[in-house]
Amino acid sequence: MKACFMGLGYIGLPTAIIAAKHGVQIIGVDINPRVVELTNAGHLHIVEPGMEEMLQEVVANGMLRASTTPEVADAYFMVVPTPFKGDHEPDVSYVESATRMVLPLLKEGDLYVIESTSPVGTTEQMAEIIYSERPELKGKIHIAYCPERVLPGNVIYELVHNDRVIGGMDEASTDAAIGFYSQFVQGTLHRTNCRTAEMCKLTENSSRDVQIAFANELSIVCEKAGINVWRLIELANKHPRVNILQPGCGVGGHCIAVDPYFITAAFPHEAQIIGKAREINNYKSEWCVERVKNAMLRFELDNKRKPRVAMMGLAFKPNIDDLRESPAKHIVTSVMQGCNNADIMVVEPNISEHKVFKLTDYRTAYDNADIVVFLTAHNEFKTLEWRDDKVILDFCGIFKR
Ligand code: SAJ
């Protein structure tokens, strides 16, 4: 079997590599010539532990080849970004343009799958485009939506072991897609229709966003009530049916803070909690900025000098080097913009340098700061000892005090 993957990003490339390892002949397509060149040279352009060795193996044995243009295959996978346009409106133009690229190559019996996170109805919309350009294929190709749910950093394991939801335009399409994924997925492949599969992906990430918003709201309430929110959550979670997540300085990354808008944009009146959760999680970052600024003002009033401030963490979640859509980075930027004369040290142990921020070693920053702001719960920070002589703003539960 030959499969054509449209998009060699964080999901497309690993999926293509794993499929190639399981005997599927892969042509990987990306509009970026550098990605194509690196991939063909066996170099991974994304960060994913263990993946480069696998890429080298499938390039060397001829099972995977990258190109800027698609080729005739038996199955086509759309794994391209779905960004925003305007005010949080999902933009499916990359899915459409990838679809238009493979359209002339489609033939009877082929499988066409969308993996990109997409608003409900996208698969049907793309089917309409396909059939309006190639009416002779109507009812003769298989069309399905199959989202992924892997956690960056653990992709090799999760691509194989996670369950997947497979939603065809009709039963035969679902069967065809299950046939493809069963070549390398050991988790259960759950059948459904394409609209449910699209909504399922959005639901999973919205559910997590809502749960984090609950924890973040609790942290703001507890601050006012003089209660340790970490201890409170620990105690509440002793209930056999309660499982509250952890508060933080906001929600970042490319999924949890994004996907809920795909629901609220289409169902603004119906999706109330989902919309509110987004607001709360965004507000939590602004609340943190205000708390830091207030602490700096208070220090200056009490000590008649400006404080030295350590901002601990830039990544969007613990123990990674990924700063995209990071609330920690947003908070550091806002605090620095708000007080241009202040002495601010920025710490991110997972990266060695940054083009905007001058980075300081975490121990040096901690030792020298008057005010320490914990933004991302990196393991390194958990090795530090609590110091009574400093003002510590612990937004991510390093000390849980
Ligand atoms: N966060 C909290 N408190 C928590 C857990 C997370 O504040 O208790 C914050 C993190 O710090 C981070 C954000 O949430 O800023 C998102 O982190 P995450 O670990 O929840 O998720 P991602 O974005 O790395 O990956 C998610 C996963 N989805 C779910 O867990 C429902 C992953 O399985 C998906 O594949 C991925 O989104 C995706 O691509 O959609």
Per-residue pLDDT tens for 253-279?
989 999 999 999 999 999 999 999 999
Which one of the listed residues 21, 146, 194, 201 is annotated catalytic? 201
How much is the average pLDDT of 184-206?
98
Residue 235's contacts (CB-CB under 8 Å, 6 or more residues apart) are none
How much is the average pLDDT of 358-386?
98
> Measured in angstroms, how far is the CA atom of residue 168 from the centroid of ligand 1?
27
* 205-394 carries CATH number 3.30.2320.50: no
Specify the CATH number for 2-187; select among 3.40.50.2000, 3.30.460.20, 3.40.50.720, 2.30.30.50.
Answer: 3.40.50.720
> Measured in angstroms, how far is the CA atom of residue 256 from the centroid of ligand 1?
6
Assess whether the C-beta atom of 208 lies below 6 angstroms from ligand 1. Answer: yes
Assess whether the C-beta atom of 320 lies below 6 angstroms from ligand 1. Answer: no
Q: Whose CA is nearest to atom 35 of ligand 1?
A: 149
CA distance 246 to 248: 6
Would residue 255 show up in a list of annotated catalytic residues for this protein? yes
CA distance 78 to 127: 13
Could you tell me what percentage of the chain is helix, strand and coil, using 3-state DSSP and rounding each to the nearest 5? Answer: 45, 15, 40
Per-residue pLDDT tens for 225-263?
999 999 999 999 999 999 999 999 999 998 999 999 999
* Three-state secondary-structure class, residue 304: coil
Q: What is the pLDDT of residue 47?
A: 84
Per-residue pLDDT tens for 314-328?
999 999 889 989 999
* Residue 344 confidence class, pLDDT cut points 50, 70, 90: very high
Cross-strand pairs, 76: 4, 112
200 by Cβ neighbours in 10 Å (0-12 / 13-18 / 19+) ranks as middle
| 166 touches 136 (CB < 8 A) | no
Q: Determine the residue of 10, 155, 256, 325 to mutate for testing ligand 1's pocket, defined as the one with the most ligand atoms within 8 A of the Cβ atom.
A: 256
Residue 231's contacts (CB-CB under 8 Å, 6 or more residues apart) are 400
Q: What is the pLDDT of residue 316?
A: 96
Structure-token pair, residue 58: 């499938």
Can you give the pTM of this predicted structure?
A: 0.95
Assess whether the C-beta atom of 245 lies below 6 angstroms from ligand 1. Answer: yes
Q: What is the pLDDT of residue 261?
A: 97
399 by Cβ neighbours in 10 Å (0-12 / 13-18 / 19+) ranks as middle
Query: Has residue 340 got a pLDDT over 80?
Result: no
Q: Where are the domains of the chain?
A: 2-187, 205-394
Per-residue pLDDT tens for 40-73?
999 999 888 899 999 999 999 999 999 999 999 9
* Residue 341 confidence class, pLDDT cut points 50, 70, 90: low
> Measured in angstroms, how far is the CA atom of residue 105 from the centroid of ligand 1?
37
> Measured in angstroms, how far is the CA atom of residue 189 from the centroid of ligand 1?
22
Which one of the listed residues 146, 249, 255, 339 is annotated catalytic? 255
* Three-state secondary-structure class, residue 309: strand
The residue with tokens 């409170």 is 232
CA distance 119 to 141: 22
Fold match between domain 2-187 and domain 205-394? yes
